[in-house]
Structure 1
Amino acid sequence: MPPSQVYLFVSAGRFSSWEDVSACLHVRYDEDGDRIPSPFMLENFGPMCIEARYGVTPLPGLEILQGFSWFAQWRSLVEYQGQLDAAICVFPPNTLFTPGNTRLTYLGCLEFEAQG
């Protein structure tokens, strides 16, 4: 089985509410019905394969990530120290063209073996 992957983004102070996080993730359309991509520039958009968390009170980095899909398999790959109030995980079939173009901290595309 090939490894799975997760694109991991985190933030401290970028969002003021869950609605702000949600608006950042979703594709919008202009008045002509043309797609306006989200800041993530997603291809093969699968909304059920994006997980996000926002908290009013910042938490230590790994604490806010607990509960994301397959966290136990990729947690050792996360190198971040500090307080976070938002985290976003993007899983396949979503593909990101330019993950570094968001105003979030991009921690990378982590490869892991999906189990269970």
Structure 2
Amino acid sequence: MTEASVVHIFLSRGRFSSFEDIRDYVDEGWSENGDAEPSVFMGEAGIAKLEPMCVEVIHAQDDGHRAPVVPEVLLREASYADQWLPQVKSTEPADAAICVFAPNVVTNPHGTSLHYLGRFTYRA
């Protein structure tokens, strides 16, 4: 039997104008010397080393929605959503989300400038 994995969900409403805007907030940058520089999100959430393939960014306009929607709608296409989305009880509308999956470790989830929805379990 596989061990339960964890996903951390962060929501936003009105902060990001596009998918590229939210990616700029999440993705590592590079110095002039070619060294990786942590993103604003990595610093706020306390992610020491980011595994970018295990972070999903969702922007409602990219899904064809023009206005904020409830998490159940916004997050339904995220990985393993069939397992963890039923655990989400929030109906707060949002137009962007960040899903941080293991092996990423989030040490300061409430330190971000986003709404931290919570940590949810699933089986990979």
TM-score interval for Structure 1 and Structure 2 normalised by the shorter chain: 0.7 to 0.9
Question: Could you report, residue by residue, the CA deviation over 1:33-81 in whole angstroms, capped at 9, with x for unpaired residues?
Answer: 5543222332342111111110232222210001111101001211211
TM-score (norm 2): 0.81
Please provide the CA RMSD for this pair.
Answer: 1.7
Query: Are positions 1:68 and 2:81 aligned together?
Result: no
Is 1:86 the counterpart of 2:91 in the alignment?
Answer: no
- Kindly, what percent of the aligned residue pairs are identical? 37
Count of aligned pairs? 114
**Counterpart Cα distance in 1 of 2:89 and 2:102:** 22
* Matched AA of 2:26: L
User: Of 26, 47, 53, which aligns to 1:48?
Assistant: 53
Question: 2 CA distance for matches of 1:82 and 1:92?
Answer: 25
State how far apart, in whole Å, the 1-side matches of 2:33 and 2:108 are: 25
Corresponding residue of 2:15: 14
User: Which residue, out of 91, 109, 113, partners 1:103?
Assistant: 113
- What TM-score does the superposition give when structure 1 sets the normalisation length? 0.86
**Structure 1 residue 99 displacement after superposition:** 1.8
Q: How far, CA to CA, are the matches of 2:108 and 2:114 in structure 1?
A: 12
In the alignment, residue 55 of structure 1 is paired with which amino acid? A
Partners of 1:111 and 1:26 lie apart in 2 by 24
Q: Which runs of no fewer than 5 residues in structure 1 stay unpaired?
A: none
* Residues 44, 93 of structure 1: 8 Å contact kept: no
- Aligned equivalents of 2:85, 2:51: Cα separation in 1: 23
Could you tell me how far 1:18 is from its partner in structure 2?
A: 1.2
CA distance in 2, matches of 1:76, 1:108: 13
Unmatched segments (≥5 aa) in structure 2: none
